[in-house]
Amino acid sequence: MKNHTVRQLVEGAALAAVFGVLFLITTYVPLLGSLTLWTLPVPFILMMVRNGPSSSFVMWGVTIVLGFLIAGIPSLIASLMFGIGGLTAGYLYYRHKSALAVLIGSSVAYVISLVLVFISSILLIGQNPADLAIEMFNQSIRQAETFSNILGQDSDQFDQLMQQVEMIRYLIPTALFMLGVVIALISQLISVPVLKRVGGFKPPVFKPIREWAFPKSFLWYYLVVTILMMVGLEEGSTAFVAAINVYSVLNALIFVQGLAVIYFFSHQKGWPIVVPILLTLLGFALTTFVVIIGIIDLGFELRRRMKS
């Protein structure tokens, strides 16, 4: 029993150190840091899977304290946010939940963490970070517009672009939601081989993309919100903000449904994996087309018809 406790303490200290190294690389090595960012939750996931909740929370507490003493507020924020998400994912693995349950649970944890960080930043700096981002974008657009005027080109497009940038302030909930899901998904995909090799654990994996499907009710929600957007809600109103965020999230989900159809069709044709990957990249350039495919699949079970 004593040896087991010592092993947990040593392992927790080692993983806390790994998190610290990953955080320093993420902060001070720009190119490599953009990659190590997604690995920050992995030490917490590994600790939870191997040693359970009690030891994992002790390791998390040590990480928070040491990180704050060494790197200050940024490390504290990273330890809190990635610790909450990583421990949530690890606990769901520990309880042998499905890959989808792990994704949903950790996504919720990350979204909550991001919302808290966002609110805290407003309280600390006394200004909405979205306003700062909009100002930076507008400044860049003005510089581009000035350069365009010097060349004698039409500047109307810049006015339209600035109007679109203003929409950022209304899409903050969508941005936080999407960022939380992306962090959860990428960290989960990274953790799978780590858990297999180091953790001695066989984590559940997702179904192939071609089998992904959302409830048909999403289509009705999408149609209702689209009609509301077409009717014309007052910009800045609560209804407008709610509608545009729901529309954006549903649009992203139906886009994924459309990609699933593309992968299914590629599988049916026996095409090599490089083909659907290239089609995916093309799909981001033809978002509306992919969304239409997703809508048809939701409404008319396009993949079932392909089988027959």
**Confidence category of residue 45, pLDDT binned at 50, 70, 90:** very high
- Share above pLDDT 70 across residues of the chain, in percent, rounded to a whole number: 88
CATH number (domain holding residue 27): 1.10.1760.20
pLDDT reported for residue 108: 92
Are 183 and 47 part of one and the same domain?
yes
pTM: 0.83
What is the overall mean pLDDT for the chain? Answer: 83
Residue 50 φ then ψ, to 5°: -85, -30
Are 3 and 109 part of one and the same domain?
yes
**Confidence category of residue 215, pLDDT binned at 50, 70, 90:** confident
User: Is residue 237 included in any domain, yes or no?
Assistant: yes
| Contact residues for 195 (Cβ-Cβ < 8 A; gap 6+) | 45, 46, 49, 93, 201, 202, 203
**Token duo for residue 240:** 């407008």
pLDDT tens, residue by residue, 50-93: 888 888 888 888 888 887 777 777 777 888 889 999 999 999 99
Are 225 and 295 part of one and the same domain?
yes
CA atoms within 13 A on the CB side of 57: 4
First to last CA, the chain: 60
Are 213 and 84 part of one and the same domain?
no
pLDDT tens, residue by residue, 187-209: 999 988 888 887 677 888 888 88
| Contact residues for 9 (Cβ-Cβ < 8 A; gap 6+) | 55
